Chain A
Amino acid sequence: DIQMTQSPSSLSASLGDRVTITCRAGQNISNFLNWYQQIPGKAPELLIYAASSLQSGVPSRFRGSGSGTDFTLTISSLQPEDFATYYCQQSYIMRFTFGPGTKVDIK
């Protein structure tokens, strides 16, 4: 299986801050990388697919980048509804694996 890591595991930020979350794959996965947001008590929701494509309805302050083994999710200006846990997921092979998550909370 392809191992996925994320950093940091958690971060504290203020409204309006720029936030960057990193995801690293254990091998080259091209652009087969997706990002999800999970608000406590809710199901995850797709934010970014194929490394950099914004899912319909997701605000443009979310941006995904990267390819190969290193990927980044950037929130350009943190809003109240963005405090959540973010997961990356690889689909390079049909044995999907997720990163351990990055929790974003209020400073």
Chain B
Amino acid sequence: QLQLQESGPGLVKPSETLSLICTVSGGSISKSSYFWGWLRQPPGKGLEWIGNIYYSGSTYYNSSLKSRLTISVDTSKNQFSLKLNSVTAADTAVYYCARIIIEAAGGNWFDPWGQGTLVTVSS
């Protein structure tokens, strides 16, 4: 059974870089049928897609975050990572990683999700 686990600092200072890793277990990150994605949810608010990566390194980013965002993949470790620089309090959220299933006929969907990790931006 595929599982994803987010890891990284829970507290980041304003203007610094938020860095998270998602470790995939129970399956290979290098399968061609999937993207791997990051999402976030500010406290008490809805879900926001951050970006995706394919095992080859191809990426898609949310245009509102693109200038501050880097998503990368390490197939040897079965991990992918998120770096968001110049953070502010508005970046405080629970960050989730998820597998994205690619289906030509019906689109793409997120399944499963990691449990999420709260990142607070504060001095």
Contact = CB atoms under 8 A, between A and B. Distances in A.
Interface of A: 1, 31-34, 36, 42-46, 49-51, 53, 55, 87, 89-92, 94-101
Interface centre among A91, A98, A101 (most CB of B within 10 A): A91
18 contacts: A32-B106, A33-B107, A34-B109, A36-B110, A43-B96, A43-B116, A45-B111, A49-B109, A50-B105, A50-B109, A55-B111, A87-B46, A89-B47, A90-B107, A92-B107, A96-B49, A98-B46, A101-B46
A101 B63 CA distance: 22
Nearest to A90: B107
Interface residues of B, number: 24
A31 B60 contact: no
Given A33-B107, A96-B37, 14 more contacts: A31-B107, A32-B107, A34-B107, A36-B110, A45-B111, A49-B106, A49-B111, A50-B105, A50-B107, A51-B106, A91-B108, A94-B60, A98-B47, A101-B47
B48 interface: yes
B110 A89 contact: yes
B1 to A, nearest CB: 11
Interface class of chain A by DSSP: loop
Interface in B105-123: 105-116
Contacts of A44: 47, 96, 110, 113
